Amino acid sequence: MTKQSNNLRVFLLGAANRPKVLDEAARLRPIIKKFAQIVCDDFTGTADLGQLEADLAIVLGGDGSILRAAHQMGQRQVPVAAVNLGKLGFLANMTPEELPGVLKDFHAGKLDTREHLMFDCTVARNGEVPFRQLGLNETAILAGAPFALIDVHLYVDSDLVTTYSCDGLIVATPVGSTAHCLSAGGPILRKDLQAFVVLPLNPHTLTMRPVVDAADRVYEMVVERPNEGTAVVVDGRMICQLQPGDRVRVARAAPRFKLVAYPGHTYYRALREKLGWGGRLNFNHS
């Protein structure tokens, strides 16, 4: 039996400093209320959504806003309906005009929810773990000032793989393969694959190529002689500056990022339109 529409509980989220977000939220709010109860609207990124109950998160903006919402939800991920108000969004693939139909169909149980890999990043230091972060896109170790190459030891399931002499190292999820990883020349992974990409940034040895391996493995990185500015960055946020011997660990997280799948928005359509595979780039397409 279908629930009454006022039983559908939603978050309404976005970044207030992004163009059109607040105006579009004001326009869409009465439309959303026809289908659902808004239990929290947050355009500052400060609400602890993991403490609230909801059935759906409506995110207005681009992929950056979706990343922020995933961090806010933490261990209690709810499905995301991603409305693209930005330019180039691989996750935000729905137009504002499609949202009412999505809400109606989601409430009726007609839409699938696709689950995607998330990871836990921890930094072990002197026998303790002072830094921990849930992520969706990638963990990056960046050399930083004074911008000399660093040596990054990579271990997979405690076995030493190699030592990269490079400007940094990225461990990315399939969702993150179209973010920093793609810009750095990494491969594109289908978003529902259970795998990680390991990508060295500007390696000193040209035979050091990207590697794709299973998500069930544990990836650890050690920089014995970091630069003064060498840092660990998760989804674009600096977690900490590295000290000699710190052990950065990346492993599959228990929560899964959940994205509402709307008919017509397919994986290869997104690549074709966002990357200009049809012969031209269209950055304004949502």
For residue 179, being part of any structural domain is answered with yes
Instruction: Note the pLDDT of residue 28.
Output: 96
From the candidates 42, 63, 167, 246, which is the catalytic residue? 63
Residue 1 predicted with pLDDT over 70:
no
Residue 281 predicted with pLDDT over 60:
no
Number of domains observed in the structure of the chain: 2
Residue 265 predicted with pLDDT over 80:
no
For residue 286, being part of any structural domain is answered with no
In this structure, are 24 and 48 located in the same domain?
yes
- Contact 160/220 with Cβ under 8 angstroms? no
157 catalytically annotated: no
pLDDT in tens, 78-113: 999 999 986 667 888 889 999 999 999 999 999 999
Instruction: Note the pLDDT of residue 175.
Output: 96
In this structure, are 56 and 130 located in the same domain?
no
pTM over 0.85: yes
State the pLDDT confidence band at 4, using cuts at 50, 70 and 90. Answer: very low
Instruction: Name which of 119, 122, 69 is nearest 92 in CA terms.
Output: 69
In this structure, are 84 and 182 located in the same domain?
no
For residue 133, being part of any structural domain is answered with yes
Q: Which range has the worst mean pLDDT, 40-44, 203-207, 257-261?
A: 203-207
For residue 281, being part of any structural domain is answered with no
Can you tell me the mean pLDDT for 201-226?
95
Instruction: Name which of 128, 126, 127, 135 is nearest 239 in CA terms.
Output: 135
Side chain identity at residue 238, one-letter code:
M
In this structure, are 44 and 96 located in the same domain?
yes
In this structure, are 18 and 64 located in the same domain?
yes
Q: State the chain's mean pLDDT as an integer.
A: 92
In this structure, are 246 and 145 located in the same domain?
yes
pLDDT in tens, 126-178: 999 999 999 999 999 999 999 999 999 999 999 999 999 999 999 999 999 99
For residue 197, being part of any structural domain is answered with yes
Buried b or exposed e, range 261-273, using 16+ CB within 10 angstroms: bbeebeeeebeeb
Mark out the alpha helices in 34-141 (DSSP H runs). 63-73, 99-107
For residue 238, being part of any structural domain is answered with yes
**CATH of residue 74:** 3.40.50.10330
Instruction: Note the pLDDT of residue 279.
Output: 61
Instruction: Note the pLDDT of residue 162.
Output: 96
What is the share, in percent, of the chain residues with pLDDT greater than 90? Answer: 81
Instruction: Note the pLDDT of residue 111.
Output: 93
- Contact 230/242 with Cβ under 8 angstroms? yes
For residue 153, being part of any structural domain is answered with yes
In this structure, are 109 and 181 located in the same domain?
no
In this structure, are 152 and 263 located in the same domain?
no
In this structure, are 16 and 110 located in the same domain?
yes
In this structure, are 145 and 246 located in the same domain?
yes
State the pLDDT confidence band at 6, using cuts at 50, 70 and 90. Answer: low
Can you tell me the mean pLDDT for 187-210?
94
Which is higher by pLDDT, 244 or 62? 244
**CATH of residue 147:** 2.60.200.30
For residue 280, being part of any structural domain is answered with no
Which is higher by pLDDT, 152 or 285? 152
In this structure, are 128 and 59 located in the same domain?
no
Instruction: Note the pLDDT of residue 5.
Output: 46
In this structure, are 227 and 265 located in the same domain?
no
pLDDT in tens, 17-61: 988 999 999 999 999 999 999 999 999 999 999 999 999 999 999
Instruction: Note the pLDDT of residue 283.
Output: 53
Domain that holds residue 134: 119-252
Instruction: Name which of 176, 167, 155 is nearest 248 in CA terms.
Output: 155
- Contact 257/118 with Cβ under 8 angstroms? yes
Q: How far is residue 197 CA from its own chain's centroid? A: 14
Residue 185 predicted with pLDDT over 80:
yes
SS (H, E, C) 170-200: EEECCHHHHCHHHHCCCCCCCCCCCEEEEEE
Instruction: Note the pLDDT of residue 92.
Output: 82
State the pLDDT confidence band at 280, using cuts at 50, 70 and 90. Answer: low
